[in-house]
Amino acid sequence: MQCSEEDIEMIRAEAVRALGAVDTEGSARRLLGERGDFDGALWSVVSELGWLGISVPETLGGLGMNLEARCAIAEELGRRVGSVPFGVTTCAMSAITAAGSAEQQALLREGASGNEIFTVALFEAGESAVPARPTTLFDGARVTGEKVAVIAGAFARYALVLCNRAQIALVDLDQPGVRRSVVDTIDNSRGYARLTFAGAAATPLLGDDVLDDVLDELAVVSAFEQVGGADACLWATRDYALQRRAFGQPIGAFQAVKHGLADFYTLIQIARGAALSALQANSGEFRKAAACARLAAIRAYDHCAQEAIQLHGGIGTTWEATQHLHLRRSRCLAEEWGTAAFWRDRLLEAALDNRGAA
């Protein structure tokens, strides 16, 4: 269902209201010392409001809205460093909606209700990008191999696993053929884990472009999450610059601070524009636009998170401050679906493909 601007603003306003009632920052701090968990209180809010099924067809238990509605929620979650696997779960379910069998699609009701979590397992040991030739094997019925740095892998029930010949297999992670090894990282709220498959039962998703389609959606949804986080850094730093005084005046009066905040604003607007352009792109341009959004968002959030700590001075590194949470989150989001180098290559390939088609 195509959403109007009024619909999106209503969704955003509801997200602001609902998320404001949850201590997302407190949970993010708590989870830094607790591997393999997520913010259960926030997940309950996300589930009860129907956000997980916002892009799932109504016939499968969802709301049947478009990608734009999902991105509005992702932006507000990013603004508040929400510690739930919203983006990866909804993108995985979107892929199953588009390319799954009737049996696979039946699982979406559990995902839309929040009872089950979905993830996407792409990376392999030694790779900083999505592998062009995965070594994980799928024979049509069972998966054998290993995936690393799987977001939500510590607690997800189902995973879309990239296998040889670019096949995507749906695996139930709660079976004897799967072993999880939780990984300690700079942001444990992401639930990263190493997944080892030893002949795990699996079923294939059908279609030639499943991997590319899910990557494009992950890039756009993540871009909005990054824009939200970067925007939070801007306003927190602006408020601090108006309150903190030095030499008898607010530090915001100094040219260096003004210019720094202007850089924040410029990068955020570029990233937001690129992300909005991706939502407005036609099917032939979407892949290129998604890569542009991904690259601009990585740069914006990384810069804003780092400079927010710098402009806050020593207080920015304290446990009570929010700035270090954004820095941790920005670093994770910058790596989760491939580094900037990978997305630059993907952008170039998409541009060349479009030129060849023309």
Residue-range domains of the chain with CATH = 5-113 (1.10.540.10), 118-204 (2.40.110.10), 210-357 (1.20.140.10)
Three-state SS for 61?
A: coil
Q: What is the pLDDT of residue 240?
A: 93
| Rg value, the chain, Cα | 20
The distance of Cα 228 from the centroid of its chain, to the nearest Å, equals 11
Contacts of 197 (CB under 8 A, 6+ apart): 136, 143, 144, 145, 146, 147, 161, 171, 177, 178
Percent of the chain that is helix, strand, coil (3-state, to 5) = 60, 15, 30
Three-state SS for 244?
A: coil
Q: How many CB atoms lie within 10 A of CB 139?
A: 13
Instruction: Please spell the DSSP secondary structure of 301-322, one letter per residue.
Output: HHHHHHHHHHHHGGGGGSTT-S
Q: What is the pLDDT of residue 5?
A: 84
* Contact predicate 150/121, CB 8 Å: yes
Q: How many CB atoms lie within 10 A of CB 284?
A: 12
The predicted-structure confidence for 306-339, as pLDDT tens digits, reads as follows: 999 999 988 888 888 899 999 999 999 999 999 9
Task: Read off φ and ψ for residue 289, nearest 5 degrees.
Answer: -65, -35
* Contact predicate 111/89, CB 8 Å: yes
Q: What is the pLDDT of residue 346?
A: 95
The distance of Cα 312 from the centroid of its chain, to the nearest Å, equals 27
| Count helices and strands in the chain by DSSP H and E runs | 12, 9
The distance of Cα 13 from the centroid of its chain, to the nearest Å, equals 21
In terms of Cα–Cα distance, which of 46, 39, 54 is closest to 108? 54
Residue ranges in the chain modelled with pLDDT below 50:
none
> In one letter, which amino acid is 355?
R
**Distance spanning both ends of the chain, measured CA to CA:** 30
In terms of Cα–Cα distance, which of 69, 90, 77 is closest to 214? 90
* Contact predicate 41/22, CB 8 Å: yes
Q: What is the pLDDT of residue 32?
A: 93
Q: What is the pLDDT of residue 358?
A: 52
Burial degree of 35 (CB within 10 A; 0-12, 13-18, 19+): middle
Q: What is the pLDDT of residue 258?
A: 94
Three-state SS for 119?
A: strand
> In one letter, which amino acid is 215?
L
Q: What is the pLDDT of residue 3?
A: 78
